[in-house]
Amino acid sequence: MAADDEFASFYAGTFARLVGQLSLVTGNRHEAEDAVQEAFARASIRWSRLRHYDVPEAWVRRVAFNLAINGIRHRRRGLAALLRLGPPPPAPAVDVADVALADALATLALGQRQALVLHYLIGMPLQEVAAALGVPLGTVKVRLHRGRRALAALLREGEVRSRRG
């Protein structure tokens, strides 16, 4: 049997069992699936060596357990940091105009969106936008021009739709 076929067979025969075992440890099936999947990805790289182990499943289980434990530790540290910081400040109320702007921006090309947000919403000068995006100043100007034009058209369409609706 070829090594790839052998690994595929090993994976198919042990994945569900390992997820079940790890789910009982973590208490979360999604986290267990992620850890087992990552452990199998690591095993696939080492398969030429692992295939000769008496129980390669034990290696994958150990790696998955370690990944899950590290994930739990990481979340605990994050939770402890959040508790030290205290409750977050209240979020401002969402303005319908902000939602319309965000929706319209999402339809633009990435370069236009980046230029518009950096220049108009963050307030970066054009030279800084060009440096941040790693493009010439002329490219930033073109993206801003095209982005403003497209954004204006999209927002006008939204006004017309909202008046009808």
Q: What is the mean pLDDT of the chain?
A: 90
Rounded Cα distance between 13 and 51, Å, is 14
Indicate the residue type of 101.
L
Domains, the chain: 3-85 (no CATH), 96-159 (1.10.10.10)
Q: Is the pLDDT of residue 94 over 70?
A: no
- The pTM of the full predicted model, rounded to 2 decimals, is 0.53
pLDDT at 163: 45
Q: Is the pLDDT of residue 22 over 90?
A: yes
DSSP 93: P
